[in-house]
Amino acid sequence: MRHRVLSRFDLLCFSHLRWDFVLQRPQHLLTRCARDRRVFYVEEPIFEDGIAPRLERHLRGNVTVVVPHLPAGQDDHDEMQRALVDDLIAQEDIADYVVWYYTPMALAFTDHLTPVSVVYDCMDELSAFKGAPTALKQREAALMRAASLVLTGGQSLYEAKRAQHHNIHPFPSSVDVKHFAQARAMTFEPADQAAIPHPRLGFFGVIDERMNLVLIRDVAAARPDWHVVMLGPVVKIDPATLPVAPNLHYLGGKKYEELPAYIAGWDVALLPFALNESTRFISPTKTPEYLAAGKPVVSTSIRDVVRPYRQQGLVRIADDAASFVSACEAAMAEDAVARMTSADAFLRRMSWDGTWNRIEVLVNATLAPPEAAVSTEIAAAL
């Protein structure tokens, strides 16, 4: 039997993340996937009073983003979503398709589907996040049994789950080097950052229970002449709990296209994550993005930052305020040319294009019976 080609199939993705919220792993991978096939990205529902169930669709590049709208206050939402998914498949004439999960919770209304393959891209340990559904672990176990292929968002998450599936592979965060390298030559200052004095220490990303707010507060207090810039939406935590000081600046969420201009004006890029259950297995996408932007990086001891970034001498690690301050001082004093030369050599092995190409080979392999040619193709791509 010939090896079937994935481009002949559509891809139906179910995610807990809003496509337009923060650009991260799903968007990087699925926009590349959509170059060769139709991709439907189904978000979690929006609940409204007094409406009939319906689907809202809009294009983001080549990806069709699908948003279910369901009536609030009812107890049969799974049945409603099941019917809406069936409608989507019928209306879009989706015949042969791969189902791609970011959330195991979607199994409740998709377990009747008959895809040619099932992929679980386990980008985080969702059960450890604040507000995680109590049924999530049970649903994930069921998804592991149903999946043809499991991907993990980092090495430590792979090590924690590799015994749970026969075809599981780690794919840590990649980077669009060209996009972030723009920061190295930019002199334009965004209006809301231009008046903030130097030295500037910056972070971009979601500000939630994973942030070490005490560390941020203490670093700002220890060095009132330094200014900490925090970019990103505040979610799942009360904004009133954020530390406040004259040298702490919360500038809100920014578009992906805007990030290089902000990073260009920083002296140090930060990964000030707390060390807790919600960060135990994270692999921050922003680590290689900071390096591509040409900035020194200081992080707390997140496992997937320590390995490989500290091991390669690319990131400084510190967990208490005094050590963090010292690490930032050392980062600002280091030879920028030597740092960027080392970072560039490391980043040459990383790209979202390369990551997607390797994943595509693995997905294709699930669409065909085991053959030596398939095994050879996978080995060549990894």
**Residue pLDDT, tens place only, 45-66:** 999 999 999 999 999 999 999 9
Same domain, 296 and 188: yes
Counted domains in the chain: 2
Q: 298 and 358 in one domain?
A: no
Read off the pLDDT band of 5 (50, 70, 90): low
| 248 and 375 belong to one structural domain | no
Question: 155 and 26 in one domain?
Answer: yes
The per-residue b/e assignment along 303-323, b for 16 or more CB within 10 angstroms, e otherwise, is bbbeeebbeeebbbbbbebee
Structure confidence by residue, pLDDT tens digits, 30-42: 999 999 999 999 9
pLDDT for the residue numbered 368: 61
Q: Does a structural domain hold residue 375?
A: yes
CA distance 361 to 98: 14
The answer on 343 and 355 residing in a single domain is no
Helix, coil or strand: residue 376 = helix
Long-range contacts of 107-115 (CB under 8 A, 24+ apart): 107/139, 107/142, 107/143, 107/146, 108/78, 108/81, 108/139, 109/78, 109/79, 109/81, 109/82, 109/85, 110/14, 110/82, 110/85, 111/142, 111/146, 112/82, 113/12, 113/85, 113/89, 115/12
The residues near 126 (Cβ < 8 Å, ≥ 6 apart) are 16, 103, 104, 132, 136, 140
Long-range CB pairs of 62-68 (<8 Å, 24+ gap) are: 62/31, 62/34, 62/35, 63/19, 63/30, 63/31, 63/34, 63/39, 64/38, 64/39, 64/40, 64/92, 65/19, 65/20, 65/41, 66/40, 66/41, 66/42, 67/43, 68/42, 68/43, 68/44
Q: What is the mean pLDDT of residues 110-130?
A: 91
1 is a domain residue: no
With beta carbons less than 8 A apart as the criterion, state whether 110 and 99 touch: yes
Domain range enclosing 275: 177-347
Q: Are residues 182 and 168 in the same domain?
A: no
Q: What is the side-by-side order of every strand in the sheet holding 200-204?
A: 248-252, 227-231, 200-204, 268-271, 297-299, 316-317
Residue 73 lies in a domain: yes
Interval 167-218: pLDDT, tens: 999 999 899 999 999 999 999 999 999 999 999 999 999 999 999 999 999 9
Cα distances (Å, whole numbers) of residue 296 to 91, 309, 323, 351, 359: 50, 12, 16, 20, 30
Verify that 340 and 372 share a domain, yes or no: no
Say which CATH number the domain at 225 has: 3.40.50.2000
